[in-house]
């Protein structure tokens, strides 16, 4: 049995249409002798003369006439399969899985879902927080996109920074610390809530306080930023979260006050990552475009962070 050669099928299609070795050779940019050799291979593959001379032209045999529509259909199917085409997202039915923190899911998730639903009503989003190894979950297709503070990624993983986040303080709306300007000493002396999925580890806030010779007391540790927000709203404890989440909480009229930290902390780049095998997938590229569009302006940009910090204390943190 001969293996299928799409080049031979394409040559047969052109030969049947042109009825001339010379004309067919010119169409596919071959020399006439090369096209003659190709015709010989086609005849061997089909077991039929395929084209026979009638005067100055080659005419198809009955077997060739029988093959003509089948060859054309096979070539058209191959083109549809191999050539990128526009995707009708109104007909797309798919569940995209995104791994992110609860804070990112809360701020990005609703806006992303609204945009996706407007164009593709049969597409849904699933946010998860479990898992540790970014490479494995993206390579295996368990997760389509990871969004967060990523750090270094493996060569097979694509990543792109979406926006930069700033840390702010959050306390209940009538917290006694709000009666005057907040100093770094007052901030450190308060009871604090920390959140991390990986246990209690020093973060940028602790590093900034250490430069001022200060430490803070972690009274409550939780795994999620939203839990830290709610705990701060119902206690005298202080939470530190990203400004996007904090401003959204204020707009939703959660009984909290948001304030600038009385010392400098580094900006936090938030990026997304995917496996390179998804680079050219139309639906995945469409999802990535929507994520970039909604994160171009973070959801909390219309909010205002109150400045209870003393300028001189802020400067001393450099």
SS3 of the chain: helix, strand, coil, percent, to 5: 45, 20, 35
Contact indicator for 48, 62 with CB cutoff of 8 Å: no
Using DSSP's 3-state secondary structure scheme, residue 45 falls into helix
**Tens digit of each residue's pLDDT (9 = 90 or more) over 250-308:** 888 889 999 999 999 999 999 999 999 898 888 999 999 999 999 886 554 434 444 44
The pLDDT value given to residue 141 = 84
Q: Do domains 91-164+268-295 and 166-266+302-316 have the same CATH topology?
A: yes
- CB-side neighbour CA atoms (13 Å) of 284: 19
Contact indicator for 251, 205 with CB cutoff of 8 Å: no
Neighbours of 300 (CB within 10 A): 22
Q: Where are the alpha helices (DSSP H) in the chain?
A: 6-18, 21-27, 32-46, 62-82, 102-119, 134-139, 184-189, 204-211, 225-233, 243-251, 282-295, 311-316
Cα–Cα distance between 231 and 24 in angstroms, integer? Answer: 77
The pLDDT value given to residue 82 = 65
Residue with tokens 């979950």: 137
Q: CATH topology for 91-164+268-295?
A: D-Maltodextrin-Binding Protein; domain 2 (3.40.190)
| Residue 220 reports pLDDT greater than 70 | yes
Residues contacting 281, CB < 8 A, separation 6+: none
Tell whether pTM > 0.75: no
Q: Where are the domains of the chain?
A: 6-82, 91-164+268-295, 166-266+302-316
**Tens digit of each residue's pLDDT (9 = 90 or more) over 176-216:** 999 888 999 999 999 999 987 665 567 899 999 999 999 99
Contact indicator for 256, 306 with CB cutoff of 8 Å: no
144 φ/ψ angles, rounded to the nearest 5 degrees = -85, -40
How far is residue 233 from each of residues 102, 103, 108, 254, measured CA to CA in Å? Answer: 18, 16, 22, 7
The pLDDT value given to residue 317 = 33
Contact indicator for 117, 111 with CB cutoff of 8 Å: no
Which of the listed ranges 16-20, 39-43, 130-134 does the model predict with the highest average pLDDT?
Answer: 39-43
Q: Residue 314's pLDDT band (boundaries 50, 70, 90)?
A: very low
For domain 166-266+302-316, say whether CATH 3.40.50.620 is its number: no
On the 0-12 / 13-18 / 19+ scale of CB atoms within 10 A, 43 is middle
Contact indicator for 165, 268 with CB cutoff of 8 Å: yes
Strand partners, 57: 54
Q: CATH topology for 6-82?
A: Arc Repressor Mutant, subunit A (1.10.10)
The pLDDT value given to residue 1 = 43
Of the listed ranges 88-92, 214-218, 305-309, the least confidently predicted one is 305-309
């Amino acid at each position: 049995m001969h293996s299928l050669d799409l080049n031979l099928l394409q040559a047969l299609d052109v030969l049947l249409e042109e009825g001339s070795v010379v004309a067919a050779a010119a169409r596919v940019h071959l020399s006439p002798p090369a096209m003659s050799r190709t015709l010989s291979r086609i005849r061997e593959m089909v077991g039929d003369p395929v084209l026979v001379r009638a005067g100055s032209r080659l005419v198809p045999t009955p077997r060739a006439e029988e093959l003509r529509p089948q060859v054309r259909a096979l070539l058209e199917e191959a083109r549809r399969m191999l050539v990128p085409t526009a995707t009708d997202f109104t007909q797309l039915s798919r569940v995209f899985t995104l791994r992110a923190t609860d804070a990112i899911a809360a701020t990005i998730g609703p806006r992303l879902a609204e945009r996706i639903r407007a164009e593709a009503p049969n597409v849904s989003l699933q946010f998860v927080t479990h898992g540790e190894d970014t490479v494995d979950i993206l390579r295996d297709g368990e997760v389509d996109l990871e969004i967060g503070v990523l750090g270094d990624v493996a060569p097979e993983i694509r990543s792109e920074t979406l926006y930069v986040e700033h840390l702010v303080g959050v306390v209940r709306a009538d917290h006694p610390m709000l009666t005057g300007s907040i100093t770094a000493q007052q901030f450190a002396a308060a009871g604090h809530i920390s959140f991390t999925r990986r246990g209690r580890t020093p973060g940028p806030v602790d590093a900034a306080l250490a430069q001022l010779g200060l430490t803070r007391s972690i009274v409550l540790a939780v795994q999620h930023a939203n839990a830290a927000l709610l705990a701060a709203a119902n206690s005298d404890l202080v939470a530190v979260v990203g400004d996007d989440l904090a401003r959204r909480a204020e707009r939703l009229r959660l009984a909290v006050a948001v304030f600038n930290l009385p010392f400098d902390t580094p900006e936090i780049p938030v990026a997304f990552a995917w496996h390179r095998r998804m680079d050219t997938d139309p639906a995945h590229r469409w999802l990535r475009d929507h994520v970039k569009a909604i994160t171009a302006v973070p959801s909390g940009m219309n909010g205002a962070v109150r400045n209870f910090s003393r300028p001189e204390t802020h400067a001393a943190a450099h």
